[in-house]
Amino acid sequence: PLTILIAMIVPGNRILPFGDLATIGFFIALAVGIHKGNLFRTLISGSIIMYITIWIANQTIPLTTALAKAANSNLLARSPEISALDQGGCPITYILTQLLHTTNVTGLIVIGLLYAFCIVFTYVQYRKKKIAKEAAAGEQAAKD
């Protein structure tokens, strides 16, 4: 239900994520682990994740529709445009398609920088924990 509300506030949104509601749990599952089960933090980060996913899926509608036309999909008989949150809203897919088929340079820069920041942040956190663990192991060895 929260994703449907988020879909209503994304500027220029042309997607209603009814078909993707079953997969949304997989988008948010990692946030639960990252936030150690904290429901409030998971809802906040999950909302941000879904906002970005819906925005990216909107940007990839023309490409997804072109793929459906090339495959002679019968889905086009029911809707003039096709999209999906699972692949159409994936940041890696968006970055790669924009590098090869640039239609929104600003979006590419924003999503690319956000993705790069997340990778660097994750690596820095990993290194901090690894150093702390090694220091604790060194202190324990010194005591023994």
Tokens 């529709």 locate to 65
pLDDT for position 24: 84
Tell me, yes or no, if the pTM score tops 0.85: no
Distance of alpha carbon 57 from alpha carbon 122, whole angstroms: 25
Distance of alpha carbon 43 from alpha carbon 53, whole angstroms: 15
For residue 144, pLDDT over 80 is answered with: no
For residue 123, pLDDT over 80 is answered with: yes
Distance of alpha carbon 89 from alpha carbon 136, whole angstroms: 41
Query: What confidence tens digit (pLDDT) does each residue in 2-11 have?
Result: 889 999 999 9
- Which of 46, 45, 57 lies closest to 17, judged by CA? 57
Q: Which long-range contacts (CB under 8 A, 24 or more apart) does 72-80 make?
A: none
pLDDT for position 47: 93
Q: What percent of the chain has pLDDT over 70?
A: 100
Distances, alpha carbon 141 to alpha carbons 73, 135, 137, in Å: 64, 10, 6
pLDDT for position 116: 92
Least confident of 52-66, 85-99, 109-123: 85-99
For residue 32, pLDDT over 80 is answered with: yes
> Contact at 8 Å (CB) between 7 and 52?
no
Helices (H), the chain: 2-9, 24-34, 39-59, 61-70, 91-100, 105-143
- The structural domains of the chain, with segments of one domain joined by +, span 2-103
